[in-house]
Amino acid sequence: MNTYIEMFSKSMLEAGKSRNTITTYSRNAELFIEWLENITGEKFNGKITGMDVTEYTRYLSDTKKHSLNSIKAKLTALQKFAEYLTESGYMPSVKVEQKKGTTEPNVEVLEKNELYKFLRYVINTENKLNIAVVTLLLNTGIRESEMCKLELTDIEITERKGTMTIRSGKGNKYRQIPLNKDARNAIIDYIENCRPTDTESQKVFIGQRGALTRSAIYKIVNKLGEKSIGKNVYPHMLRHQCFTAMAKNPDVDLKTISSIAGHSNTELTMKYYVNSSKQEQTDAVESLTFF
């Protein structure tokens, strides 16, 4: 790994950034350096100019033909890298201009009949771990990374209500999420009848090889999706399913959804869950009549 990238990664780790953020930003900064060294024929010296940013943006758009979201993600990482280099004294400040334009976020959810078949299959497997994982993802919208961190003391359930505490969510945010009846029943059933008793781990979800990782959770959901409906179902899709359904309920306000989702603001929630789907847009165009 490039020395500058190593120092950049270390600075993010010291700043408390998540491992996913560190990996993504570091990889995107590394891709920029590879491009720059290939263009200039010189080894990267820790300096980025405005002209470099302009040409790199054009390269991503015109040569690589990346989507707008992909370009924005790469330029965001480049901005953070440039800020680090400036703060470390390697170069003067340079602003990374974002690619202009708008695009709808990719919010993929299952159709009603697909969701029904998927959940019916999950329940019929009678695998209490799988049922608890899917039910919690779908009924709370938590991220798989947050699910991995859950410990027994983070779950509080009484006869009529329950609460789940996310102590370190995305952006190191703390929040508490109410548990509905389905979520409470699934968790209790798993903990009382399936969770291993011969483990010292305090993690809620324990598999055959120990506490579940993000990869293990993804594989559980994906395998169930393939077997039930022959479709690529993944944990974040169930998160989208949860908040898309919540947003369609006129009795639930945007601030409430944002709080449960762990979003930094309601604008982010609106961007993802209060908008027309691509299918709805397609139907609108197809329905056009002028005569």
Residues 75-86: tens digit of each pLDDT: 999 999 999 999
- In the prediction, which pLDDT does 290 show? 76
- 3-class secondary-structure state, position 211: strand
pLDDT above 90 as % of the chain = 74
Structure tokens at 240: 């989208």
- In the prediction, which pLDDT does 264 show? 86
| Domains in the chain: ranges and CATH | 3-87 (1.10.150), 112-276 (1.10.443.10)
Strand 210-211 vs strand 162-166: parallel, antiparallel, or unpaired? unpaired
CA distances to 184, 211, 231 from 215, rounded to whole Å, are: 24, 11, 18
Spatial separation of the C-alpha atoms in residues 24 and 32, rounded to whole Å: 13
Contacts of 110 (CB under 8 A, 6+ apart): 118, 229, 231, 233, 237, 241
- In the prediction, which pLDDT does 97 show? 86
Spatial separation of the C-alpha atoms in residues 205 and 186, rounded to whole Å: 12
Instruction: Answer yes or no: are the C-beta atoms of 70 and 114 closer than 8 Å.
Output: no
Element (H, E) at 243: helix 235-247
Q: pTM, whole model, 2 decimals? A: 0.67
Spatial separation of the C-alpha atoms in residues 154 and 176, rounded to whole Å: 9
The 10 Å Cβ neighbour count of residue 188 is 15
Contacts of 165 (CB under 8 A, 6+ apart): 154, 155, 156, 174, 175, 176, 177
DSSP 16: T
- 3-class secondary-structure state, position 177: strand
- In the prediction, which pLDDT does 170 show? 84
* Model confidence pLDDT, tens digit, residues 270-288: 888 876 556 666 777 777 7
Burial class (CB in 10 A: 0-12, 13-18, 19+), 63: exposed
Q: 65: left (phi > 0), else alpha (psi -120 to 50), else beta? A: left
Q: Which residues of the chain are modeled with pLDDT < 70? A: 1, 102-105, 275-281, 289, 291
